[in-house]
Amino acid sequence: MTNASKLCFVLFLIFSLSACHDSSEISVSISNDEPTAEQAVEFVAVAEKNLSEVGQEAARISWVYSNFITEDTENLAAMARRKFTTIQVEMASQAARFKDVPNLDPDTKRKLGMLRSGITIPAPRDAAKTAEQSVIGTKLRGMYGKGEYCYADGECLDLGRLSDIIAESRDPDDLLEAWNGWREVSPPMKEMYSRQVELANEGASELGFSDLGTMWRSAYDMPPEDFPSELDRLWGEVKPLYDALHCHVRAKLGQQYGTDLVPPDGPIPAHLLGNMWAQDWSNIYPLVAPPETVSSYDLSAILKDKGFDAIDMVEAGEAFFSSLGFEELPDTFWERSLFVKPEDRDVVCHASAWDVDEKDDVRIKMCIKINAEDFNTVHHELGHNYYQRAYNQQSYLHRTSANDGFHEAVGDTIALSITPEYLQKIGYLENVPDASGDISLLMKRALEGIAFLPFGLLVDQWRWKVFAGEAGPTAYNDLWWELREKYQGVKAPNERPDDAFDPGAKYHVPGNTPYTRYFLARILQFQFHRSLCDISGNEGPVHRCSIYGSQPAGERLNAMLEMGRSKPWPEELEALTGQSTMDATAILDYFAPLKTWLDEQNQGRQCGW
């Protein structure tokens, strides 16, 4: 008997269902009887079992597709997504029937809410539209993964090599061509993306939400209408630090490229910031750096000098978690993960962490480069894996993080402990530098972390407006750049073509990955770090603290990770930090010396845009 047939059989007993279909389609007819709390409990148990089984099957097929992009694997992935989405939609629809049942226990009521809001891209219940939705999603990810730009001489470069140009070149013409070149990949996505929005909104409406954005915002243990104001509160706390960083970076870029290209009082052209999406400015550190001191060091150079390869990078990340008391990764992790981009096939190189069997088959998929950025990214992705292992004893709907920002924050929290003290302990530095080099180190972190914050906020601001019908396809690009200028102080380097779809040049848009989680993760990682440093007994500045080797910190962290999503996130946050609200002041504490230095540099400059 197939999983879907089992599901239909049990639901027949619970709801007097009138029809069941094969594994590719589930059609349920519910009687008019009022559901009971007992039926709700039984329904949730059935839903969790079947979603887990079908989800594991979909994960394996998705893994194969991401690592072997062909027409056949694309079709297989589309069918698997259709099957899983069909069951998700059916379970969400059934869960909606129970939302007002009296006398529900709190856990069941919360799980019913998770079932209703847990679909990233809900498809309508119509089978043909579900199939269409699945095909569109698979094609969009495939177009991104196979994307490349061909120069006039016939040389074609993929995203990785184009990103290298953006990171390393200081020729504005070369930067502009690479930037524009990657954005030729996304215009063909626009029509499909627009249709996907229509289908997803229809699916969200069938689940009782006004649009998909409202559905996404309902997953944060608070009314969805209150969530944007919470984001505004957090952004307001850190914006003065971002504004100071922006002001200094713009002035230095003006010195490098001239004020005709970088006006001293306007937005910064996006192609000059060292990253394909201007979300991470660390690659332009040499252009904006404080005066070098003997205490400065270059982690990328250290890794290369030591002859690191991709496996060494991952082993270093594992060793950090082991020092906190976490179990070593299983042998299957090393056998089944992808660490290096294959030369013989197309793969999705975007770094990701996988939990294939929801027990111990954890993996990462990443085309690792030997540099400081990927050293941090390895720790980030392993943070996902250790989180997945910690909560694997929870029930299906609780086998995830307290909210999606928590999952992203854990590995980044560990990365904050990649300090000179840590590097000295593991033999990468001979001596711990004195405090004279701290401004340089803080500047590097700010160019990566603080520069990201407004981008992390605006991606979903754009999508929420699109989902709400405030901007149709002809206005997609204008809205995108309006928000980028408003939040980031960044502008397109040239007039955009009428068919441009620049949001589609960022993986998370065609990949349909909600993005607010990354903004929340940046807030939470510093809050986590400050608390874990206190637990570890740190007595110095928080930016110099490393929790490496602290068993008490590891125990407190693991205790929260094991909770999964079994409690509302404020309770889980309080279990680790003692605070039940997200607090961006930890960022201000961490970067306090840099903020003082930036304010000194910016005297006499016109800041803002």
DSSP 261: T
When pLDDT is cut at 50, 70 and 90, the band that residue 77 belongs to is: confident
What is the mean predicted confidence (pLDDT) over 591-601? 97
Q: What integer best gives the mean pLDDT of the chain? A: 90
> How confident is the model over 371-393, as pLDDT tens digits?
988 998 999 899 999 999 999 99
Question: Given the structure tokens 């969530």, which residue do they identify?
Answer: 227
Q: Which residue in 477, 505, 483 sits closest to 271, CA to CA? A: 505
Q: Rounded distance, CA 476 to CA 472, Å?
A: 6
Q: Please confirm, yes or no, whether 381 is among the known catalytic residues.
A: yes
pLDDT at 69: 86
Torsions phi, psi of 236, nearest 5? Answer: -60, -30
Q: Which is more confident, 557 or 82?
A: 557
> How confident is the model over 427-479, as pLDDT tens digits?
888 888 888 788 988 999 999 999 999 999 999 999 999 999 999 999 999 99
Q: In this structure, what token pair is assigned to residue 548?
A: 């490496």
Query: Biggest alpha carbon distance in the chain?
Result: 76
Least confident of 267-271, 404-408, 590-594, 598-602: 404-408
DSSP states of 67-98: HS--HHHHHHHHHHHHHHHHHHHHHHHHHHHH
For residue 293, pLDDT beyond 80: no
Q: Which is more confident, 278 or 219?
A: 278
Q: Please confirm, yes or no, whether 292 is among the known catalytic residues.
A: no
Residue of 508, 529, 543, 572 marked active site: 508
Read off the amino acid at residue 232. Answer: D
Percent of the chain scoring above 70 in pLDDT: 94
The total of other beta-carbon atoms located within 10 Å of residue 412's CB is: 23
For residue 23, pLDDT beyond 60: no
Residues in the chain: 609
Cβ 387 vs Cβ 561: under 8 Å: yes
> How confident is the model over 31-71, as pLDDT tens digits?
456 889 999 999 999 999 988 988 888 889 888 888 888 88
Half-sphere exposure of 264 (CA within 13 A, CB side): 9
Cβ 400 vs Cβ 390: under 8 Å: no
Residue of 74, 358, 381, 408 marked active site: 381
Question: Given the structure tokens 């306090």, which residue do they identify?
Answer: 592
> How confident is the model over 116-168, as pLDDT tens digits?
888 888 888 888 998 899 899 989 988 998 999 999 999 999 999 999 999 99
Cα 416 → chain centroid: 17
Least confident of 72-81, 107-116, 353-362: 72-81
What is the mean predicted confidence (pLDDT) over 200-218? 93
Quick one: the chain helix, strand, coil %, rounded to 5?
60, 5, 35
> How confident is the model over 172-192, as pLDDT tens digits?
999 999 999 999 999 999 999
Cβ 242 vs Cβ 454: under 8 Å: yes
Q: Which is more confident, 285 or 117?
A: 285
For residue 271, pLDDT beyond 60: yes
Cβ 412 vs Cβ 382: under 8 Å: no
For residue 3, pLDDT beyond 50: no
Question: Which of the residue ranges 89-93, 201-205, 340-344 has the most confident prediction, judged by mean pLDDT?
Answer: 201-205
pLDDT at 15: 31
pLDDT at 478: 97
In this structure, are strands 490-491 and 268-269 parallel, antiparallel, or unpaired? parallel
Q: Please give the model's pTM, rounded to 2 decimal places.
A: 0.83
When pLDDT is cut at 50, 70 and 90, the band that residue 17 belongs to is: very low
In this structure, are strands 156-158 and 490-491 parallel, antiparallel, or unpaired? unpaired
Q: In this structure, what token pair is assigned to residue 471?
A: 């901007």
Q: Which helix (H) or strand (E) holds 386?
A: helix 372-390
Q: Rounded distance, CA 417 to CA 427, Å?
A: 15
Question: Given the structure tokens 């976490």, which residue do they identify?
Answer: 326
Q: Rounded distance, CA 389 to CA 360, Å?
A: 6
Q: Rounded distance, CA 366 to CA 376, Å?
A: 13
Percent of the chain scoring above 90 in pLDDT: 70
DSSP 338: B
